[in-house]
Amino acid sequence: MPAIKFRGVDFIQFDALLTEEERLVRDTTRQFIEDNLIPIIEECNRAGRFPRELVKPMADLGFFGASLKGYGCAGMGNVEYGLMTQELERGDSGVRSFVSVQSGLVMFPIYAFGSEEQKQTWLPAMQKGEKLGCFGLTEPGFGSNPGGMRTRARKVGNEYVLNGEKMWITSGSIADVAVIWAKVENENDKIRGFLVEKDRKGFTSDDVHGKWSLRASVTSGLSMQDVHIPEANLLPKTDGLKSPLMCLNQARYGIAWGAIGAAMSCYDCALQYSILRKQWRDQPIASHQLVQDKLTWMISEITKAQLLVLQVGRLKDAGKVEHQHISMAKRNNVWMALECARLSRDILGANGVADDYPIMRHMMNLESVKTYEGTHDVHSLIIGQSVTGIDAF
């Protein structure tokens, strides 16, 4: 079977809804992924290796903190940012996760809740990829309900002392700085964010091994035992659980676009394969109605997902987006992408399980994407709460 090369997916002239700048960001990112990630991603995925060599080139293209203004950041609009994450995830969800964490979960909280000194110290260096970050919210005992966290910070003199465990932390062991969320004992257990540099005494990280998903992304556990940090490391404007949730909103928005990229990769591969692959009377499998039904489902759902997230992006640009809008986009688009991966895998038959094609890798990655940043079902509850006014958590 000849090599299958991505050709782009646009059924209803979606491109006409984009500005020239938005298309330029999309096309530049697409070309970068085609030239730099596609040739190495299957090897990275097999080896469980994060392609760290791409950090500098991605920084040079302005991918980190792309929607922030100042501090060397690109100041992209929200649709430009979304199209960038779409193309990154068309390459691999793990690489998109790295960019989302660096941007939406580390640079964003420093930007939104940090002091000017913290911003000057970290944002330009993180934009250039010279410093990497991670976001520590989840704990071994608390995932969907982060408000139950056990990690504690105690103010002692002009320092804070941190104790606790964080789990499933993207980029945990490669990060120079961790944004750690902890309950502050001296403030009635209010949740606040802290910047913890990796070389602080008592701070350790251990990678999760044996992961069958996001294998090109580092995932770690973090442990803090009497970690002393100066009070200047508190993110001063953090104020309760709503602060980390604001960060998650940023990242979830990027995921909603990213999932479309994974779906496009699977769909386009399955479409091309179905035209090339012949079974029965020397006819392509694309000539069978049942195969066409699968392709029709995929292109319809991809198209609807594009329109949904474009509207959410436009609302975000206008300052009118609500968290339940982002929940709907994340929940729908990741589910849609996972279904596309499963249908595409099916169309490739046995070839679908091999890493000569990207589909199985996308499928495995999307299982994590469905779970992190609020599980599919947690987003059902957020939307349910929004339409009924009743909290069902």
Q: Phi/psi at 29 (nearest 5 deg)?
A: -65, -40
Q: Phi/psi at 187 (nearest 5 deg)?
A: -125, 45
| Nearest to ligand FAD of 73, 382 (CB atom) | 382
x-marked contacts with ligand FAD along 134-153 as a string, rule CB under 6 A: -xxxx----xx---------
Active-site annotation holds for 165: no
| Nearest to ligand FAD of 173, 368 (CB atom) | 368
Q: Residue 151 Cβ, how far from ligand FAD at the closest point, in Å?
A: 11
| Nearest to ligand FAD of 135, 357 (CB atom) | 135
The site that binds ligand FAD (CB under 6 A) totals a number of residues, namely: 21
Contacts of 204 (CB under 8 A, 6+ apart): 222, 223
| Nearest to ligand FAD of 93, 118 (CB atom) | 93
If binding is defined by CB under 6 A, does position 375 make contact with ligand FAD?
yes
Q: Are 139 and 246 in contact (CB under 8 A)?
A: no
CB atoms within 10 A of CB 304: 14
If binding is defined by CB under 6 A, does position 378 make contact with ligand FAD?
yes
Query: Pairing state of beta strands 159-170 and 219-230?
Result: antiparallel
Cα separation of 128 and 107, whole Å? 12
Decide: helix, strand or coil at residue 141. Answer: coil
Decide: helix, strand or coil at residue 19. Answer: coil
Q: Residue 306 Cβ, how far from ligand FAD at the closest point, in Å?
A: 25
Estimate the crossing angle of helix 359-371 against helix 93-100, to 10 degrees: 40
For 12, 16, 35, 264, the CA distances from 5, given in Å and listed in that order, are 21, 24, 12, 12
Cα separation of 29 and 126, whole Å? 19
| Nearest to ligand FAD of 22, 139 (CB atom) | 139
Amino acid at 62: G
Cα separation of 18 and 334, whole Å? 22
Report 219-258 residues binding ligand FAD (CB under 6 A): 219
Cα separation of 224 and 343, whole Å? 43
| Nearest to ligand FAD of 65, 77 (CB atom) | 65
Name the residue number minimizing CB distance to ligand FAD. Answer: 143
Q: Residue 251 Cβ, how far from ligand FAD at the closest point, in Å?
A: 9
The H-assigned helical ranges of the chain are 20-32, 38-47, 55-60, 78-91, 93-100, 108-113, 116-127, 242-276, 289-317, 323-347, 359-371, 376-388
Amino acid at 313: G
> Which region, judged by CB under 6 A, interacts with ligand FAD, from 234-242, 255-263, 265-273, 364-372?
364-372
Report 42-101 residues binding ligand FAD (CB under 6 A): 101
> Which region, judged by CB under 6 A, interacts with ligand FAD, from 10-18, 70-78, 347-355, 372-380?
372-380
Q: How far is C-alpha 68 from the chain's CA centre?
A: 17
Q: List the catalytic residue out of 22, 87, 89, 373.
A: 373
| Nearest to ligand FAD of 82, 221 (CB atom) | 221
x-marked contacts with ligand FAD along 320-359 as a string, rule CB under 6 A: ----------------------------------------
Q: Report the residue from 6, 168, 203, 267 that binds ligand FAD according to the rule CB under 6 A.
A: 168
Q: How far is C-alpha 137 from the chain's CA centre?
A: 15
For 23, 84, 115, 266, 310, the CA distances from 36, given in Å and listed in that order, are 20, 15, 36, 19, 27
CA distance between the termini of the chain: 49
Tokens at residue 148, please? 């139950």
Residue position matching structure tokens 């646009």: 10
Report 96-135 residues binding ligand FAD (CB under 6 A): 101, 135
Q: Report the residue from 21, 231, 293, 377 that binds ligand FAD according to the rule CB under 6 A.
A: 377
Q: Residue 83 Cβ, how far from ligand FAD at the closest point, in Å?
A: 23
> Which region, judged by CB under 6 A, interacts with ligand FAD, from 45-53, 167-175, 260-268, 309-317?
167-175
| Nearest to ligand FAD of 71, 372 (CB atom) | 372
Q: Report the residue from 169, 184, 285, 340 that binds ligand FAD according to the rule CB under 6 A.
A: 169
Binding site for ligand FAD (CB under 6 A): 101, 135-138, 143-144, 168-170, 214, 219, 368, 371-373, 375, 377-378, 381, 393
Kindly list the catalytic residues.
373
